[in-house]
Amino acid sequence: MSIRFGTDGWRAKVEEDFTVENVKLCTQAVCNYLKSREIADNGLMVGYDTRLNSATFAEAVSEVAAGNSIPVILCDRPAPTPVVSYNLVRRDCAAGIVITASHNPSDWNGFKFKPGYGGSASEEILSDLETCLKNVLEQQQYLSIPISNAEKIGLVERVNPELLYLNHVAGLVDLQSIRNAGLNVIVDSMHGAGSGYIHQLLEGGTSHVTEIRNEMDPTFPGMKQPEPIDHNLEPLKEKIWHTNGDVGLATDGDADRLGLVDEDGNYISTLHTFALICQHILENLGMEGTLVRSITMTSMINKLGDLHKVPVIDTPVGFKHLGPVMIEEDAIAAGEESGGYAFRGHIPERDGILSALMILDMMVKTDKNPSELMLDLTDRVGPHHYNRIDLTFQPEEREELETRLAKAQPKRIADMTVKDIDTRDGYRYELENGYWGLIRFSGTEPLLRVYAESESLDSVNAILEECRDILGV
C-alpha cells in the first residue's frame, strides 16, 4: 500500500487503499503536524462530499482528532470544498480536512488537507506532512475515541457551514442586480455537493434558476466521473434547448470547478471561461493586480495582461503552486485548466460557485449573453481553440515514457517553430503567437495528459497528434 499526497491531497479507490483504517492513519499524521507547529489547539474543520460513506470517513477523521485532544468542527451535511475552506478561515481553525475525490470516478474517494489560510497546501507544508505520514505508517498507530463520546465531552461540534459562506460570496458580486436581471439560469450540480447553492443565492428576484442532477447520488449516473467537461454536459445542453436558458453552469463533485455552456448549448472551454472572468475583473470591476495561471492555462491571460498592463505569473499545475503565489502577490485571480478559479477577497483556492456568480455578474453588467461575450473576447485576444486528451498507461511503462520525453527535442510541431521547452511540470512546447502543446503525467491518476492550444481546431488536433508521436502511442 502506498499513501502519497499528490497535487491536491491523497486519492484512492474505496476498499482497495481508501479505507477507514488508512484515513485514520492519515489523520494521525495531520494531528502530529499540527502539534509540531503548536497550532493544534485552534482545532480542525472537517467536511465531506456526497460520495458513498464520505460521512463515515469524516467521522473517522473527527474521532482521531478528538483522540489527540484537538477540537473538531464537523459539517453536519455534505458541503462543497470551498465552503469548508472558507469556514475554516472564518472560524480561525488551524487546518481543515475534506473527504472528497472531487471529479474522480464514483469508486474513488480522497483526503484533502487545507492549511489555516484555506487553500491547497504548499510544497513546504506537503513535505512536512509527508514526513509525519511516513512515521505514522511505519508505526501503524493512531489515537482515537468514538464520535459519540467526543461529542459528549465537547471535542466535536457539528455545524451547518452554509450561512457563513453564502453571506460572504453574496458580497463579492452585485447579487441584487443578478437576482433582478430576469435571467433563465440552468444549473447542473452533477449529483455533487454544490446542489442548491446557486439557487439559494439567486432566489427572490426575477431571475429563475432551474436545477438538474441536483439529487445527491454517489454513483454519479450517466457519467464516468462528475467532471464538468463537454462530453459530461449533454443533459445541461438539452435543458438549455428545451427551456430557452440564458446560460448553463455546472459544478463538479465537490463544487470547486465550473463548467460553462452558452445560450445555444455550446460548451465554453475552461480556458475561455477563465479568460472571460479575467476580462470581467479587469474591465468591468476595474480591479488592478497580478493574474496567476498554471502552465496548462491559456495564453489569452497573458494577452489580456498586456492589454491592461498587469503582470501575469505562470506556475506548475495545482493550487499548491497557484495558491502561495496568489497570496504573495495579492493577485486578483488565479486559474488552472481543470476549471478551478480563485479570487482576491475570498480564499486562495478554487471555487466553482463563486466562479459561476462572476459569469452571471459579467452578463448583467455588459447586458450580453455568453456567445456575445465570447465574440468580444476574440476581438481582444484573437482566435484560440483548445483540447486535451488523456492516455492511460501501465505503471511499468512510466520509466520508458519519461525517457522518450526527455530525449525528444522537436524543432517544429504542427508547422510551427518550437520556441522553447518548459520542463517545470511535464514538457510544454512553446509555439508561435502564444500557442502551445504540453505532455505531463497526472498527479492523482495513472494518466498521461496531452494538451494543445492554437488558432484552429485543425491546428490543435495536429499538435495533439504530433505529441502522441513523441510518446510513441
Q: What is the residue-wise DSSP string for 95-163?
A: EEEEE--TTS-TTEEEEEEEETTSSPPPHHHHHHHHHHHHHHHHHT------HHHHHHTTSEEEE--HH
Are 364 and 393 in the same domain?
A: no
Look up residue 58 and give its three cell numbers.
469524516
**Which of 128, 162, 196 finishes a domain?**
162
The tally of domains found in the chain comes to 3
Tell me the DSSP string of 411-446.
SEETTEE--EEE-SSSEEEE-GGG-EEEEEE-SSSS
pLDDT on residue 1: 56
Q: Where is the domain boundary, 351, 377, 403? A: 377
418 and 286 inside one domain:
no
281 shares a domain with 207: yes
**Per-residue confidence (pLDDT) for residue 444, from 0 to 100:** 64
Give whole-number Cα distances, 386 to 37, 57, 165, 295, 298, in Å.
Answer: 43, 38, 33, 14, 9
CATH classification of the domain holding 421 = 3.30.310.50
**Final residue in a domain of this structure, among 319, 348, 377:** 377
User: How many residues can be counted in the chain?
Assistant: 473
In sequence order, which residues have a C-beta less than 8 Å from that of residue 85 and are 6 or more positions away?
96, 98, 114, 118, 119, 347, 349
Q: How many Å apart are CA 300 and CA 309, to the nearest integer? A: 14
Low-confidence ranges of the chain (pLDDT < 50): none
Residue 3 lies in a domain: no
For cell 497557484, name the residue.
Answer: 322
Q: Assess whether 63 and 179 both reside in one domain.
A: no
305 and 258 within one domain: yes
Are 149 and 49 members of one domain? yes
Q: What is the pTM assigned to this prediction?
A: 0.94
Is the separation of the CB atoms in 104 and 252 below 8 Å?
no
219 and 350 housed in the same domain: yes
> Quick check: is 40 in a domain?
yes
Range of the domain at 243: 171-377
Residue 227 lies in a domain: yes
Distance CA 390, CA 383 (A): 24
- Report if residue 92 sits inside a domain: yes
Q: What is the CATH number of the domain that holds 279?
A: 3.40.120.10
Is residue 4 domain-resident?
no
User: For residue 41, what pLDDT is reported?
Assistant: 97
Whether 345 and 354 have beta carbons less than 8 Å apart is answered as: no
In angstroms, the CA 468 to CA 70 distance is 50
Do 53 and 187 lie in one domain? The reply is: no
178 and 138 fall within a common domain: no
Query: Which tens digits make up the pLDDT trace of 274-297?
Result: 999 999 999 999 999 999 999 999
- Pseudo-torsion of CA 196, 200, 206, 212, nearest 10°? 0
- Residue-level pLDDT at 6: 63
Same domain, 317 and 221: yes
